[in-house]
Amino acid sequence: MKIAFARALALVLLSLTLTAPALAASKPKPIPLPTPQLPTKKLHTEFVVEVNAKGQVVRVKSGKDSVDTLYNAHTYGDVLQMWIRHPDGTAVVGLYRVTFDYNPKNHMIARHVSLVKAGGNWGTQQGAALQMMDLANKRAPDPLPGLQQITGKPPAPKHTP
């Protein structure tokens, strides 16, 4: 029984020593990633949004799309995550017009914000980005465990220079 086991082990080790260099020498070929094609013409989207007292966009009231669906999705996502505030950090509850203009020459997007009408009954409502985070957290199966739960010890303090 011991001799059969030793022979089997020797065959396994022999096969590993013969195939290991071949496996190490062969490099997997990287899969080329698709290069996004940037639009070649000017694009424009426009949204009217409700902004709360913190400056968070609560919801999109209306919008005008461009001909490019990816650009539309990009700008819609951007507007839902926006904060519209004054440089001093204060905000005015109201309706705002937000426009996005894509320039195909320099591939830049210009964003412009203007107040349409001050006031509204959504001043105390939660921002759209926070609403989406709450919804995602409710749909998550289980929250990930914290570092202390995984390692059994609290995280080490960070020293700043």
Q: What is residue 159's predicted lDDT score, i.e. its pLDDT?
A: 65
Does position 19 have pLDDT exceeding 80, yes or no?
no
* Residue 92: inside a domain: yes
* Residue 65: inside a domain: yes
The percent of residues in the chain predicted with pLDDT above 90, rounded, is 58
Q: Range of 123's domain?
A: 43-136
Categorize the per-residue pLDDT at 122 as very low, low, confident or very high, splitting at 50, 70 and 90. very high
Does position 139 have pLDDT exceeding 90, yes or no?
no
The model's pLDDT over 29-47, given as tens digits with 9 standing for 90+, comes to: 888 888 878 899 999 999 9
The model's pLDDT over 63-109, given as tens digits with 9 standing for 90+, comes to: 999 999 999 999 999 999 999 999 999 999 999 999 999 999 999 99
Q: What value does the CA radius of gyration of the chain take, rounded to a whole number of Å?
A: 28
Is the entire prediction scored with pTM above 0.75? no
Closest by CA to 72, choosing from 47, 106, 95, is 47
Domain count, the chain: 1
* Residue 4: inside a domain: no
Categorize the per-residue pLDDT at 7 as very low, low, confident or very high, splitting at 50, 70 and 90. low
Q: Edge to edge, what strands does the sheet with 94-103 contain?
A: 57-64, 43-51, 94-103, 108-118
* Residue 32: inside a domain: no
